Amino acid sequence: MAEAFNANVAAAKDALNAFIVATPEKALEAAKATDEKRAKGEPLGKMGGVPIGMKDLFATAGVQTTAASHILEGFTPEYESTVSRKLWEAGAGMLGKLNLDQFAMGSSNETSYFGNVVSPWRRNDGGNAPLAPGGSSGGSSAAVAARLCPAATGTDTGGSIRQPAAFTGITGVKPTYGRCSRWG
């Protein structure tokens, strides 16, 4: 599964610009660890090898975290956000860091230093103009809608999960305030 999604991410890189950085090795490491646990009859974890996209607002140890801003380009934290740490502990693998509106301040995904995210959907009027996936979690919604990943993280203060999910025809859930840690 990780290999198939890694191939999808690579194939859609230029077309959608959903990922700021791909981490195929992280997805494969989680898949391998899950396969080894399965072979030993050990519990796999709730996310056992599932490859996901990580919104580039969450700190990920050893992987660049930019919040889609030029001023953070090259920042590689030595620590893990609580959300990502819990996902890795549950066995999830990371396909890469997803594009977003810079510092999650936008609703179109057109403010990223790394370029606009494009919706995988196309216009129904015959035109070729790209469609915005919404924001700020537009990279997340575009990646899931295009089947680049089976799931992705997002953040939502004023609709930043729900609006892009609606724009791209997927389901997005805003966790109850306080349910997910905001650390990292």
Q: Which residues are catalytic?
A: 55, 136, 160
Tell which phi-psi region holds residue 25, choosing left (phi > 0), alpha (psi between -120 and 50) or beta. Answer: alpha
Q: Could you tell me the two tokens for 179?
A: 């349910």
Q: Could you tell me the two tokens for 64?
A: 């660049």
User: For 41-178, where are the alpha helices, taking DSSP H only?
Assistant: 82-89, 138-145, 162-168
**Cα 60 from Cα 40, distance rounded (Å):** 29
**Cα 2 from Cα 155, distance rounded (Å):** 24
- Could you tell me if 19 and 53 are in contact, meaning their C-beta atoms sit under 8 angstroms apart? yes
- Could you tell me if 63 and 23 are in contact, meaning their C-beta atoms sit under 8 angstroms apart? yes
Query: Which phi and psi (to 5°) does residue 142 adopt?
Result: -65, -40
- Could you tell me if 55 and 154 are in contact, meaning their C-beta atoms sit under 8 angstroms apart? yes
